[in-house]
C-alpha cells in the first residue's frame, strides 16, 4: 500500500504553528528579544499572514509574547504575581493599600453598578478612579463606586474633582465599619479608556475583579478593577513565595 497513514485528526495549521513557535521561544530566544516581523515569519513557515497572526495572538494571550504596533513582537517576561486577596477586610485606601488615587467625581452610577449596589440609577455615588503599578508598569485600573449616603460628611468637601478629592473620599470611608466583602474574577475585554491607560488596544483581554464592600447592613461600595490579562497572574490568600518559574499555561500536550 502506497498510502502512508494520514493524520486522522489533522491539527489546524495555526495550532501546530503555535506549538512550534512556543518551543522556539523556550530554546532559541530570550526575554525581551525581538522576533522577525509577521510577513517574514509567515513566509518562513509557508503560511498566510493571517494564519501566522492567529498563532501569535494565542501566544500573546498566554503571556508569552508582547506585540506593539509600529515596533514589533518581543518575547514577554514571565507573568508577574499581583496580590489581590491580602488586604482582606479593609477598606480601599487603608494604610498599605497599593492603589494610587487618580480622580473622583460625584455622579450617578451606570446601570450595572446600580444593580450591584442595590440602589437606583439616580442615587448619587462617589466615583473614584485609581490605578495600580507593579514592577514599574501599570497593571490595573479601578473604578470604585461609593454610595454618597455612606459617607455623608463628604458634602463639606469643596473640590468637584481631582486626586485630592479622591483621597478625601477614601479617608472618610475608613470611619465606617466594614462588615464583610465579596470578590469575583472574570474575563472581559478592555474598554477604550482602560485600554489606553493600560497601554493596550481596546478589546484586549483583561481580568475583571469585582469587589463588594458591606457596611451598615447593605452594599456600601463596589470596586471594579481591570487587570491586564497578558502580564498578570492574580494571587490570593495566604501569601508566600510567588514562584512557579514560568506559569502553568496551557498548550498542546
Q: Which residues bind its own copies (CB under 8 A)?
A: 15, 18, 58, 61-63, 79, 81, 85, 88, 112-113, 115-116, 180-194, 202-203, 205-208, 210, 212, 214, 224, 226, 229-230, 232-240, 242-253
Q: Which of 21, 25, 47, 59 binds DNA (CB under 7 A)?
A: 47
- Give me the least distance between CB of 70 and its own copies, in Å please: 16
DSSP 197: H
Interacting residues with DNA between 11 and 30 (CB under 7 A): 12-15
Of residues 81, 72, 80, the one with CA closest to residue 32: 72
38 near DNA, judged by CB under 7 A = yes
Q: Tell me which of DNA, its own copies, none is bound by residue 184, counting a contact when its beta carbon lies within the kind-specific cut-off of 5 to 8 angstroms.
A: its own copies
87 near DNA, judged by CB under 7 A = no
Q: Is 146 exposed, middle or buried (0-12, 13-18, 19+ CB in 10 A)?
A: buried
Provide the CA 77 distance to its chain's centre, in angstroms: 16
Question: Cα–Cα distance between 200 and 25 in angstroms, integer?
Answer: 22
- Give me the least distance between CB of 199 and DNA, in Å please: 8
Query: What length is written for the chain?
Result: 253
> Cβ closer to its own copies: 153 or 182?
182
Angle between helices 13-28 and 49-61 (to 10 degrees): 60
Q: Take residue 180 and report the three cell numbers written for it.
A: 464583610
- Give me the least distance between CB of 1 and its own copies, in Å please: 29
Per the listing, cell 495600580 goes with 132
Per the listing, cell 514562584 goes with 243
180 near DNA, judged by CB under 7 A = no
Question: Cα–Cα distance between 250 and 253 in angstroms, integer?
Answer: 8
> Cβ closer to DNA: 8 or 95?
8
> Cβ closer to its own copies: 158 or 238?
238
Binding site for DNA (CB under 7 A): 9-10, 12-15, 35, 37-40, 46-51, 53-54, 56, 67-73, 201, 203
Amino acid at each position: 500500500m502506497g498510502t502512508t497513514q494520514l493524520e486522522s485528526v489533522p491539527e489546524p495549521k495555526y495550532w501546530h504553528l503555535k506549538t512550534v513557535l512556543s518551543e522556539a521561544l523556550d530554546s532559541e530566544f530570550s526575554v525581551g528579544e525581538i522576533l522577525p516581523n509577521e510577513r517574514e515569519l509567515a513566509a518562513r513557515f509557508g503560511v498566510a499572514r493571517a494564519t501566522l497572526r492567529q498563532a501569535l495572538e494565542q501566544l500573546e494571550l498566554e503571556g508569552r509574547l508582547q506585540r506593539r504596533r509600529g515596533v514589533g513582537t518581543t518575547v514577554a517576561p514571565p507573568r508577574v504575581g499581583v496580590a489581590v486577596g491580602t488586604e482582606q477586610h479593609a477598606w480601599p485606601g487603608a494604610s498599605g493599600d497599593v492603589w494610587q488615587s487618580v480622580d473622583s467625581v460625584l455622579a450617578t452610577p451606570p446601570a450595572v453598578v446600580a444593580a450591584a449596589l442595590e440602589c437606583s440609577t439616580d442615587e448619587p455615588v462617589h466615583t473614584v478612579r485609581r490605578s495600580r503599578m507593579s514592577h514599574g508598569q501599570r497593571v490595573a485600573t479601578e473604578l470604585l463606586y461609593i454610595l454618597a449616603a455612606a459617607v455623608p460628611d463628604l458634602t463639606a468637601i469643596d473640590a468637584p474633582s481631582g486626586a485630592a478629592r479622591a483621597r478625601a473620599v477614601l479617608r472618610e470611608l475608613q470611619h465606617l465599619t466594614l462588615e464583610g466583602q465579596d470578590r469575583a474574577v472574570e474575563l472581559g475585554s478592555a474598554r477604550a479608556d482602560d485600554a489606553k491607560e493600560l497601554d493596550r488596544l481596546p478589546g484586549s483581554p483583561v481580568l475583571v475583579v469585582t469587589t463588594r464592600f458591606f457596611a451598615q447592613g447593605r452594599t456600601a461600595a463596589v470596586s471594579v478593577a481591570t487587570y491586564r490579562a497578558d502580564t498578570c497572574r492574580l494571587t490570593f490568600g495566604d501569601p508566600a513565595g510567588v514562584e512557579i518559574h514560568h506559569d502553568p499555561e496551557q498548550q498542546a500536550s
